[in-house]
Amino acid sequence: MSGPRPDSTALASTALASTALASTALASTALANTAAGNSVRRARPVPAACDRPFWDGLRAHRLTLPYCDDCAAYRYPPAPRCPRCLTAALTWRECPGRGTLWSWATSRRRFAPGLGLPYTVVQVELDAQPGLLLDSTLLLDSTLAGGEAEAAGAAPLRIGLPMTAVYLDDPRGFTVHAFQPHGAD
C-alpha cells in the first residue's frame, strides 16, 4: 500500500470540490455572456465552507487559492484537504491570474439553463505553478474558432496562448472569473 488511504472526509471534500467547480463554470459562462451584451439569467454559485475564501477573493477581483505548505503547492479546485498529502492545514494565497491556454471546448448546445450560446470552457495552466490547471470560460467575444475568429478580427485560440483572468461582477452580489487572451481588452 502506498501512502495513506483517503478517509470519508477526504472523499466528501472531493465531491464538494467537484460541485463547486461545476458551479464556477456555469456561473462564469453565464456572466461572460452577459458581459458581452447578452441578457442571460445566470446560475448563482453557492459557496461551501471549504471554498468561501475562493469566492471572497473573486469578489475582491483576486484569484485566491488554497496552498499546501507541506507540498509547497497551490491546489485547485478548493477543498478542505490537500488531495496529495491529505493535510487540512491549507493556507489561502493570492495567485496571479495569468497563464497559458491548455485546452478548450466550445459548445453550441445548451447543457444547463441560463447559458448563452455559444460558450467556451477552457483549462488554463497558471504561470504561478506548472501543472496547475484552472477551469473557467472565455468571454463570449473570445469564443470564436479558426476562420470565425479571424473574420471577426480576433486571434484564433491555440494551445499555449497567453491568457489573463477577468472578474465579472453580478448585481446580485457575487463575482466569477473568466479568461481572455492576454492583451484583449
Q: Which grid coordinates belong to 111? A: 447543457
User: In this structure, are residues 142 and 180 in contact, taking their beta carbons and an 8 Å threshold?
Assistant: yes
Whole-number Å distance between alpha carbons of 155 and 31: 22
The pLDDT tens digits of the residues spanning 27-83 come to 554 444 444 444 445 678 899 999 999 999 999 999 999 999 999 999 999 999 999
Q: Does the residue 60 lie in any domain?
A: no
Q: Does the residue 155 lie in any domain?
A: yes
Q: Does the residue 132 lie in any domain?
A: yes
User: In this structure, are residues 90 and 72 in contact, taking their beta carbons and an 8 Å threshold?
Assistant: no
Number of domains comprising the chain: 1
Nearest to 182 by CA among 166, 167, 159: 166
Order across the sheet with 162-170: list the strands: 133-137, 119-126, 98-107, 162-170, 174-181
Q: Does the residue 66 lie in any domain?
A: no
Whole-number Å distance between alpha carbons of 67 and 128: 12
The CA R_g of the chain, rounded to the nearest whole Å, is 17
Q: Does the residue 100 lie in any domain?
A: yes
Give the pLDDT band of residue 9 (cuts 50, 70, 90). very low
Q: Does the residue 107 lie in any domain?
A: yes
Q: Does the residue 105 lie in any domain?
A: yes
User: In this structure, are residues 48 and 16 in contact, taking their beta carbons and an 8 Å threshold?
Assistant: yes
The pLDDT tens digits of the residues spanning 125-142 come to 999 999 999 999 887 554
Residue 107 exposure: Cα atoms within 13 Å on the Cβ side: 16
Q: What secondary structure letter does DSSP report for 138?
A: B
pTM passes above 0.75: no
Residue 106 belongs to domain spanning = 8-44+96-181
